[in-house]
Amino acid sequence: MWKTILLVGSGGFIGSVLRFLVTRFIQMRYFSLFPWGTMTVNIVGSFIIGIIFGLSEKGDFLGPQAKFFLAVGFCGGFTTFSSLSNDAFILLQNKEWLKFLFYATGSFALGLAAVLGGRMLVKTILP
């Protein structure tokens, strides 16, 4: 049990630090009130988790410990649904209706498409 907790925690640490760096880089590069950084990590994280679960469905490519480290730890730390929700609330609070609509629906739809893309990529590479 402790080994699993350490795997999840270390994956979460790496994912959280990477999320901070990627979000900061994007927000500094494209200065905007729109949360491009958060949206980007959510879409990329969705693609990565699609690959992880696609690989785990293929058999022996990922064991349970790797799945805990990557899916629960890394992707859990890297993706930011709670940040997405807060950013969406701020857009609503500022009456940025179109930005809110694009952000909320875009994040969900593109995140879902990224999960599908990750799974399809694995199926294409590993028939």
For the four alpha carbons of 14, 16, 10 and 44, in that order, the dihedral sign comes to negative
Stretch 53-64: mean pLDDT? 85
Task: Please report, in range form, the residues annotated as the binding site for Na(+).
Answer: 76, 79
φ/ψ of residue 107, rounded to 5 = -60, -45
Closest-CA residue to 39 (of 66, 91, 9, 79): 79
Confidence of residue 42 (pLDDT cuts 50, 70, 90): very high
The predicted-structure confidence for 65-77, as pLDDT tens digits, reads as follows: 999 999 999 999 9
78 has pLDDT over 90: yes
CB 72 within 8 A of CB 11: yes
Mean residue pLDDT of the chain comes to 92
Task: Please report, in range form, the residues annotated as the binding site.
Answer: 76, 79
**Structural tokens at position 114:** 């990224």
